[in-house]
Each structure stands twice: as C-alpha cells, then as structure tokens.
Amino acid sequence: MNTSRTKMLFFVTEDWFVCSHWLPLVEGAKKTGFDVVVVTRTGKHLEKILQRGIRVIPFEISRRGSNIFREFEALLRLMQIYRKEQPDIVHHVAMKPILYGSLIAHLMRVPHTVNWVAGMGWLFVSNNLRAKILRIVVQKVLGVLLRRTSVIVENKDDQAIIADLGVAARRIHLVRGAGVDTQLYAPSPEPGSIPLVVLPARMLWDKGVGEFVEAAAQLKKRGVNARFALVGDPDAQNPASVSVQQLTTWHKEGAVEWWGRHEDMPQVFAQSHIVCLPSYREGLPKALLEAASCGRPIVTTNVPGCREIVRDGDNGLLVEARNATALAEALAKLLSDTGLRQQMGQRGRERVLGEFSQERIVAQVLALYREVLS
C-alpha cells in the first residue's frame, strides 16, 4: 500500500518513553512515507523528538490519575485531537493510551487501530485491594475495546491473557520488545575493578528494588567484595514508586549506591560486571536487551518478560521473584566466576543479534502496518 498520504498517530504517555523505546519505530514509519504525529506529555525530551523532524502534539495525562473529572477532561481533549488530525491509523502504547485511545478511535471511526501492550504494569502485579478491583474493571473494558483492533504483545504470557479477553488469535501479534541498537550497545571487556552489579530501571518496588537491596546486604554481610548500584530515578506517576527518601537512606547505609538516571547507559553497562533486574513482571524489558547486547551476564526473575530474554544457565540466571536470598545466591555464583560471566555475556550478545535487533523489530512492525492497511 502507498503510505505517502497515510496519516499515523502515535499516542504514548511520556516523551521520555518515546525516546527510550519508540523513536526508531516512529522514524521508520516516517521514512516509509507515513505522515506521522506523536501525541505525548512533553518535557525535557521533546527537543530530541522534534530534531528528527517529527511533529508532536503535547498532551497532559496522569498515569495514576484517579480524579474522574480530570480524566473526563483528558478524554475530551483527546477526542478533539483525533477529530482534528483525522488519522488513518493510530498506534497506542501502554495501558492508559490503549484504554482512552481505543475508545476515542472507536467513537471517531478511525479506520485502523494498533494497540501495543508493553507489559501489564502495576495494575496486574499489585496485590492491594484497589488494584484488584481496578484489574477486574480494566479486564472487562479491555475485552470490549481490543476486539476490533490489532494487538501487539511482547511475550507469550501476555498473548494468552489477551486471548482470554476474547480477542481473536488473528488480531494478536507477538513482537519481542522494542529492539536494541546493537551498534550503540556494543560489547566491551570487563573492567579490572571491584565487581559491579547494576539494576537499571525506574525505581519501583515491583522492579524488585527492595529484594536487590536485601540481596546486596546479605552478600556484604558474607564478606563478598562487590559493589551494587541502583541506576534510575523514581517515577512519581507510578503507584509503586520508591521514594527519594528511601533511596537516599539506602545509599547512606552503604549496601547499595543510588546513581539516579543516566542518559549514557552503554557507559554504565561498560562499567558493570553483572546486570540484575529482579522484577515481578514485565512486557520485555529493554534494559536487559541492552545489557545482553553489551555482553553482560544477567540475573533476573523467572517471570513473564524477563524469561523471554534469559535462558537459565545460558546467558544468565533465573531466580524466583520476591526472593532476596535466591537472588543473593545467583549473584554470588556469578561474582565468583569470571569465566562464567564472560561465557554468558557472549551468549547474550549472540541472542540479541539473532532475535532482538532494532532493525529486525522495526521491520516486523512496519510489515504489520502494511498488513493492517491492506
């Protein structure tokens, strides 16, 4: 199909999320000939998107908003955007854009809708009562909204969940993450310093941050000579965010270091010896793909998303979620064996090149667009 006059609207919650995960895909769609516009909440990453020649419509939305009047106002603003832009195809990423965008796309009779389920998020891992009630409601609403759309999932567990909501198998497409730039995230030799274990993620409890800190404390108590670093900032928009006060306290206590957010992640991985993400659930964590591309062994949890990247004993180790002691044992095993770390790092690099490269993923999604529009 000729895409030169086809308008595509991407709706993503945050401009930093556009830059960290989706910019290569947005650029790919533009280069293919789509008239592309991105709808997102804008901040310090806006300029990076604009520099690529991509039009951006600022849109304020709260990912944890519970004020019904403000949420209704957001829906009205989104309806105005969709009415004005009249896109031929819309692409929504993550839960709130999927819910709100799919509803508005249906009301505005947008011809084609693609929904990317980038993990099930806090709502599907939290055990508190509010989350459980919301989960039931959201599942029912999703079942209705998704049935006439094309749905992208990042792992087979989410694929099964979406199918259980009543979405036809032909509408569900497995795309294994956002891909990784294998030239930017390139292997480097292990540094000769004290072994460094990094946890690269937003500072959320459901990323296993608490278990990582406890595992580090256990290993320090055992006399293991290693450093442990939390690399990332809290996310005030997420109910599971760890407070700055807590992170600062951990840093002062000395079991872990809190580095905050780093833009130059290839350099962070180059300093590291092991990359760890003891998450409770993921879509397909890009940080682990980047770590594997850099030739670093991974310790992560045997949960949806994480086990898509790591084969236990091959390019890393899988442990039980929410289990700090098991995490400490896995980290100790790799900290004590330089040869095993290097072997697993090499296997991780090979897997990324064969299955998760950015070029491969972008080509797959662009092919899906052509299929949807045909």
- Condensed to tens digits (0 to 9), the pLDDT of residues 155-171 reads 999 999 899 999 999 99
- Mean pLDDT value of segment 187-216: 97
What is the tens place of the pLDDT at every residue in 279-336?
999 989 999 999 999 999 999 999 999 999 999 999 999 999 999 999 999 999 999 9
Q: Give the pTM.
A: 0.89
Of the listed ranges 62-66, 80-84, 161-165, 315-319, the least confidently predicted one is 62-66
Q: How far is residue 249's CA from residue 88's CA, in Å, rounded to a whole number?
A: 50
Q: Where are the domains of the chain?
A: 7-179+358-373, 196-356
- Mean pLDDT value of segment 233-241: 89
- What is the structure's pLDDT at 143? 86
Which CATH number does 196-356 carry? 3.40.50.2000
Asked if the domains at 7-179+358-373 and 196-356 fall in one CATH topology, the answer is yes
pLDDT level of residue 66 (50, 70, 90 thresholds): low
Q: How far is residue 106's CA from residue 141's CA, in Å, rounded to a whole number?
A: 13
CATH class of the domain at 7-179+358-373: alpha beta
Q: How far is residue 99's CA from residue 315's CA, in Å, rounded to a whole number?
A: 36
pLDDT level of residue 1 (50, 70, 90 thresholds): low
